[in-house]
Chains A and B, each alone.
Chain A
Amino acid sequence: MSTPEVLRFADWTTPVAPAAREVVSRLPEDDHGHPPLLFVPAPGRAASVFAEHWLGHAAGRGFSGYALSARPGGDLRALVHDTVQTAASLPRRTVLIGHGEGALVVAKALGRYPARAAVLAAPRLTPRFAVFAKPSLPRPAGRTPVLVVGSPDDRLVKPAALDRAAAVYGGAPLLFPGMGHDLMLEDGWAEPIDAILDWLLKELPVPGH
């Protein structure tokens, strides 16, 4: 992992231009003091993949759920920018949850924003075709606990890749055998999101609860 980026010439000389970002949200009826969740899909996919099941389910369990459709055609830097901008716009320190290549966006964003926690779901941390490239991930800006979830039967992200991703953050992946890549859309969608929320409740005890 690389150390935090102190000198940010790219941002200081050519800041990412603002762009329209669509944020879909499902909010719980009462505030339970939980941190908001920001779901980040893979580039090219829309917030709707999370709006389908996970957002509503999280709201049902007391978590404000937001999902981001980043700018179309944005490069990795722009997607990270959109993620951090959205997280910083939420009222509380946010939990970032990225899926597929969205997990790479989240992992990069962790170097820029001290997320309350982060979840990398079926993470594709190496760009496509770059089989041997080692992912260069920033050390999280905060003391952010990171959970990796995935399926040993995912044909896009192999178990070894899950192990590697989790090892970067000093953990082991949480596995959901029998599921494919799209954990949030398949029939068994409830199991991973419940496990993620349980993990959050364990990691981030709410004072007074």
Chain B
Amino acid sequence: MHDTPDPGDRGDAVCVVGAGASGLAAVKNLRELGFAVDCYERETSVGGAWNWRHDRSPIYAGTHLISSRPLTEFPDFPMPDTWPDYPHHSQVLEYLERYAKHFALTDDIWFGMEVTSAVPVEGGRWDVTIRSTGVGESSRVQRYAAIVVANGHNWSPVTPEIPGEFQGQTMHARAYKDPSRLRGRKVLVIGGGNTGCDIAVEAAQQAARVWHSTRRGYWYAPKYVFGRPADQVNDRLLRWGLPLRMRQWLYRRTLRLTTGDLTRFGLPEPDHRPYESHPIVNSQLPYYLGHGRIEPVPDVERYDGAGVVLTDGTRIEPDLVITATGYRPRFDFLEPELLDTDENGRPDLHLHAFARRHPTLAVIGLLQPDSGVFPLAHWQSVAVARWLRLRADDPERAAAVQQKESTRPLDSWSRRRVVPTQRHWFEVDHVDYLRSVEGLLDQMETPA
């Protein structure tokens, strides 16, 4: 930092916000293309959401991967092949820690430092205000050539607004850590996502009684199909390039043969086709439905003192309500218009990554793919690094790439036909998405 006259001006360096999986990939891939990087992490260790010690982590003791290992690992740093198909969250953290150590990423990470604002200044540069999260709370402003945001989107809980008073205990799934809290209690789990299903299953193993409230029917896929991880089987269909309609038909057939018809247990029929909602992968849910340990119930209408009234008029009396109703993205340090964020809080970014009006602002990992996020975050950050490099070295070609990218059709990378809820804002099909990023990478390929 002694090579620039103004200590606050970091020259060509890039600022990365967050040292979770996406931030680590960004640091590594920016450095690969010769950028100096300062990464700011509010916690004192790497791993972001996957680090259960972090107070914002959504991890609970029983969390395992939903996507299998080959579809989850970084493409240039495989997980050990002796690990199980669906590693435990502690293994994922160990993996991220090893990734950081292997590539010496912590040299560039400032722990216990929080970015409180980032403001565009002349020349596409950014004034970034950083504050220490520890004692003293001193803050400083540094100027960067670009800012790459990797602050995660699974930490700010969405809590449903349920009218009425409830005398029992309520908690959001983020606060749920350990199944011992469920032991012997009557539990209502609200939410049909992967977390809601996981908690319903843990409740089935521990609690006295379990209700599972979902707003609609979903396609509950098993973790294994024909003895193989279900996502690996699904990728065969994608590899063969089967059209969506054919895949939807095969999906229904396969689900009928494996999970079977769940409406028999009282679950509603899905109101959408397969592949039109985020995949729910849970082999144990049907098992506990069949054993009567999980009672499926409809949406919650209101709280009523000691009870909860459901939309079908029934009243149940749980003593613990867990809302597994997801998370919303938050970029408190950026003015909403920088990310073209609409009134609902939904940012509009090219490839869910590139700010449309600020070429030196990008977001990594803001995706809900039908695979793990790490491989997509990796290629996103490679694309961002190449873009920033090209912009610095060959502005003319960079302008041409930008022009060409603006014509890339939205439905080539963003899954359009999805259930229109906040849950599906960033839903992508990993194959379509990666094909688009690959197309962008090819355009920015340095001539050999």
Q: Does A7 contact B (CB under 8 A)?
A: yes
In the bound assembly, the distance between CA atoms of A12 and B232 in angstroms comes to: 6
Q: Is the CB of B80 within 8 A of A4?
A: no
Q: Does A84 contact B (CB under 8 A)?
A: yes
B232-243 vs A, CB cutoff 8 Å, 1 = contact: the mask equals 110110110000
Q: Which residues of B contact A91 (CB under 8 A)?
A: 101-102
Say which residue of A7, A11, A14, A112 sits within 8 Å of B431 (CB atoms).
A7
In the bound assembly, the distance between CA atoms of A15 and B228 in angstroms comes to: 11
Say which residue of A7, A12, A93 sits within 8 Å of B438 (CB atoms).
A7
Q: Is the CB of B441 within 8 A of A113?
A: no
* B28 and chain A: residue at smallest CB distance: A114
In the bound assembly, the distance between CA atoms of A9 and B431 in angstroms comes to: 9
Q: Is the CB of A113 within 8 A of B235?
A: no
* B438 and chain A: residue at smallest CB distance: A6
A1-27 vs B, CB cutoff 8 Å, 1 = contact: the mask equals 101111111011111111000000000
Q: Does B82 contact A (CB under 8 A)?
A: yes
Q: Is the CB of B69 within 8 A of A3?
A: no
A135-159 vs B, CB cutoff 8 Å, 1 = contact: the mask equals 0000101110000000000000000
* A12 and chain B: residue at smallest CB distance: B235
Chain A at the B interface: SS class: loop
Q: Does B70 contact A (CB under 8 A)?
A: yes
B58-82 vs A, CB cutoff 8 Å, 1 = contact: the mask equals 0000000000011100011110111
Interface residues of A in 4-53 (CB under 8 A from B): 4-9, 11-18
In the bound assembly, the distance between CA atoms of A127 and B187 in angstroms comes to: 63
Q: Which residues of B contact A17 (CB under 8 A)?
A: 81
In the bound assembly, the distance between CA atoms of A92 and B371 in angstroms comes to: 28
Q: Is the CB of A3 within 8 A of B441?
A: yes
In the bound assembly, the distance between CA atoms of A35 and B93 in angstroms comes to: 24
Q: Which residues of A contact B70 (CB under 8 A)?
A: 8, 11-12, 15
Q: Does B442 contact A (CB under 8 A)?
A: yes
Q: Which residues of B contact A81 (CB under 8 A)?
A: 78, 81
Q: Which residues of B contact A141 (CB under 8 A)?
A: 76
Q: Is the CB of B104 within 8 A of A84?
A: no
In the bound assembly, the distance between CA atoms of A16 and B69 in angstroms comes to: 12
Say which residue of B81, B435, B448 sits within 8 Å of A18 (CB atoms).
B81
Min CB distance, A1 to chain B, in Å?
Answer: 6
Q: Is the CB of A8 within 8 A of B32?
A: no
Q: Is the CB of A15 within 8 A of B69?
A: yes
Q: Does B434 contact A (CB under 8 A)?
A: yes
In the bound assembly, the distance between CA atoms of A139 and B32 in angstroms comes to: 14
Min CB distance, B403 to chain A, in Å?
Answer: 21
Given contacts A8-B75, A9-B238, contact A143 B32 (CB under 8 A): yes
Q: Does B379 contact A (CB under 8 A)?
A: yes
Q: Is the CB of B77 within 8 A of A6?
A: no
Q: Which residues of B contact A143 (CB under 8 A)?
A: 32-34
Q: Is the CB of B78 within 8 A of A84?
A: yes
Min CB distance, A106 to chain B, in Å?
Answer: 15
Interface residues of B in 86-111 (CB under 8 A from A): 101-104
Q: Which residues of B contact A112 (CB under 8 A)?
A: 75-76, 78
In the bound assembly, the distance between CA atoms of A143 and B437 in angstroms comes to: 20
Q: Which residues of A contact B437 (CB under 8 A)?
A: 6
B22-59 vs A, CB cutoff 8 Å, 1 = contact: the mask equals 00000000001110000000000000000000000000
Given contacts A13-B232, A92-B102, A141-B76, contact A4 B448 (CB under 8 A): no
Min CB distance, B231 to chain A, in Å?
Answer: 8
Q: Does B178 contact A (CB under 8 A)?
A: no
In the bound assembly, the distance between CA atoms of A86 and B209 in angstroms comes to: 48
Q: Is the CB of B102 within 8 A of A88?
A: yes
In the bound assembly, the distance between CA atoms of A114 and B77 in angstroms comes to: 9
Q: Is the CB of B434 within 8 A of A6?
A: yes
Q: Does B6 contact A (CB under 8 A)?
A: no
A80-114 vs B, CB cutoff 8 Å, 1 = contact: the mask equals 01001100111111000000000000000000111
Given contacts A85-B80, A142-B32, contact A4 B239 (CB under 8 A): no
Min CB distance, B29 to chain A, in Å?
Answer: 9
Q: Which residues of B contact A16 (CB under 8 A)?
A: 81
Q: Which residues of B contact A8 (CB under 8 A)?
A: 70, 75
Q: Is the CB of B238 within 8 A of A114?
A: no
Min CB distance, A156 to chain B, in Å?
Answer: 28
In the bound assembly, the distance between CA atoms of A25 and B437 in angstroms comes to: 40
Q: Does B137 contact A (CB under 8 A)?
A: no
Q: Which residues of B contact A4 (CB under 8 A)?
A: 382, 441
Q: Which residues of A contact B435 (CB under 8 A)?
A: 6-7
Q: Is the CB of B434 within 8 A of A13?
A: no
In the bound assembly, the distance between CA atoms of A8 and B238 in angstroms comes to: 11
Q: Which residues of A contact B233 (CB under 8 A)?
A: 13
- 4 A-B pairs closest in CB distance: A18-B81, A9-B239, A6-B438, A12-B235
Seen from chain B, the residues whose Cβ lies within 8 Å of a Cβ on chain A are 32-34, 69-71, 75-78, 80-82, 101-104, 231-233, 235-236, 238-239, 371, 379, 382, 431, 434-435, 437-438, 441-442, 445, 448
User: What 5 additional pairs, Cβ within 8 angstroms, besides A3-B445, A6-B75, A15-B70?
Assistant: A9-B236, A9-B238, A9-B239, A81-B81, A142-B76
Identify 9 residue pairs between A and B in the complex whose beta-carbon atoms are under 8 Å apart, listed by A's number.
Answer: A3-B441, A3-B442, A6-B437, A12-B371, A17-B81, A18-B82, A81-B81, A88-B78, A112-B75
